[in-house]
Structure formats: C-alpha cells, structure tokens
Amino acid sequence: MAESADNPNFAATIKNAAGIILGVTENRTWIEAFFEGDLMHTKTVDLPAGKMFDIYIEEIPHKTTVYEHPRTMIFFDGPCDLEITLDGNKAIVMGLQSGEESQTV
C-alpha cells in the first residue's frame, strides 16, 4: 500500500478492521470501519461533503456483503489494514490482511 505522505489523495488508514460500512445520505458519503470484539466499535471516514463518490473495494478478501438501504456492510475474511484514497469522484479502499506483509519472503 502507498504511504500517505507520498499520496496527495490520501484519506485515511485503518488497522485491523473486521469490515466496513459504506453509507450515503442526501449529498454525503462516508466509510465506516468496524472491529471484532464483544462490543462493536467503529472509526468513521467522512468523505468531502457536497460530492457523491463511487466507492471501489480492492484486494480485500471478504466473506459476506449485506445491503440495507442506504448502507452496505462488508465483512472481511479476517482483520485487514485499510488505506482509503480519493481520485476525483472515486473513493478507493485497498486492504491487506493484517500480518500479511511480515509473512512474505
């Protein structure tokens, strides 16, 4: 994944996410990451207001997707480190399963 300092379109990084919620209301789009545990806690990434985004999820193995208007919930196969970048009207969510970098030779 690209380093945030090298990418002017960087929006956020999130460590060990169990899944994400993609939401849209009126003219606002947001991405919310959630984490495994007894109590569900989240981290919200608010995308710039007044602009609608196409959200692309790339390189993240997932086990299920639940759609309930106005949001979509995606559960990952395991914890993932996420990087969210913006490219025009695209929000791109890239993921790497936690610990994957240290396992490569």
Q: Given a cut of 90, is residue 19 above it in pLDDT?
A: yes
Confidence of residue 105 (pLDDT cuts 50, 70, 90): very low
pTM of the model: 0.79
- Looking at the structure of the chain, the number of domains it has is 1
Has residue 104 been placed in a domain? no
Q: Counting beta carbons within 10 angstroms of the beta carbon of residue 54, is it exposed (0 to 12), middle (13 to 18) or buried (19 or more)?
A: exposed
Q: Report cis status (omega within 30 of 0) of the bond before 8.
A: no
Domain coverage including residue 95: 6-99
Has residue 27 been placed in a domain? yes
Average of pLDDT values for 50-78?
90
